[in-house]
């Protein structure tokens, strides 16, 4: 089942006639050079950018959902999250429950534990490092339990351990162990192609606002595709653990 379907999605000069489906239980990685349209696509999916074409969520036009309904169904972790006030970590995470009009303590606790920030619940967020703050903002999104979770370059400010931990968490969110939960999906924009190959079910390679390649990591991450889009010669070994993608001299 497709949770989201894009048909001829366009946005100014940033996106050009993008069509694809997001399937339940999958983690889709958006890759491509800077300015290729990754953030613009996420913003369209989140309903915060005007667009031409069609975005269908659960079989209905995204434009048919009001702000509350959309916030319950689609959660966005944007780049550069910051708080204008010195709020506690607990208060930041509780913002994820606004669309549900409750402050469910269990949901907040579960999200904090999942992201490893539960020990800082009573600390001001501005006393944490950049990477720690990013995990708090992810906890805010998780607390809202969206059907579709969008993450825009979530590896920024994270060390190697938490980069892997972050993507493992997002993959688990898309494919929860419990069969009683509603189907969910994750869309994540990444610059690290090795991480994208390791954790994503499918990849969408964008170039100048267009879909250059869409498919499994093995189908998308080819020497020919990377040369055409990134203008670099690469060594690719997707069978290695973890996968290896490196630039050759």
- pTM score of the predicted model: 0.95
Q: What is the pLDDT of residues 181-213, one digit of tens each?
A: 778 999 999 999 999 999 999 999 999 999 999
Which domains are assigned to the chain? 2-220 (3.40.50.300)
Tens of pLDDT, residues 15-58: 999 999 999 999 999 999 999 999 999 999 999 999 999 999 99
Q: Three-state DSSP class for 130?
A: helix
Per-residue pLDDT tens over the stretch 161-184: 989 999 999 999 998 777 667 789
Locus of tokens 């498919």: 215
pLDDT at 155: 93
d(CA 7, CA 55): 7
Q: Give the Å distances, CA to CA, from 166 to 67, 188, 199, 220.
A: 27, 11, 10, 23
CB burial readout 101-120, b (16+ within 10 A) else e: eebeeebbbbbbebbebbeb
């Amino acid at each position: 089942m497709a949770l989201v379907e894009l048909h001829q999605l366009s946005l100014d000069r940033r996106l050009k006639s993008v069509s694809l489906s997001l399937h339940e239980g999958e983690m889709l990685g958006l890759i491509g050079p800077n300015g290729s349209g990754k953030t613009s696509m996420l913003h369209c999916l989140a309903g915060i950018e005007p667009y031409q074409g069609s975005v269908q969520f659960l079989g209905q036009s995204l434009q048919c959902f009001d702000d509350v309904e959309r916030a319950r169904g689609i959660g966005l972790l944007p780049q550069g999250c910051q708080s204008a006030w010195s709020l506690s970590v607990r208060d930041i995470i509780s913002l994820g429950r606004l669309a549900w009009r409750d402050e469910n303590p269990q949901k907040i606790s579960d999200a904090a534990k999942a992201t490893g920030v539960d020990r800082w619940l009573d600390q001001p967020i501005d006393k944490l490092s950049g990477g720690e703050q990013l995990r708090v903002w992810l906890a805010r999104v998780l607390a809202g339990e969206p059907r579709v979770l969008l993450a825009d370059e979530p590896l920024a400010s994270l060390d190697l351990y938490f980069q892997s931990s972050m993507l493992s968490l997002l993959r688990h969110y898309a494919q929860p162990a419990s069969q009683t939960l509603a189907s969910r999906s994750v869309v994540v924009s990444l610059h690290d192609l090795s991480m994208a190959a390791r954790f994503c079910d499918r990849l969408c390679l964008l170039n100048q606002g267009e879909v250059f390649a869409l498919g499994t990591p093995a189908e998308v991450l080819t020497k020919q595709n990377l040369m055409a889009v990134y203008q670099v010669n690469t060594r690719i070994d997707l069978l290695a653990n973890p996968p290896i993608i490196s630039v050759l001299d």
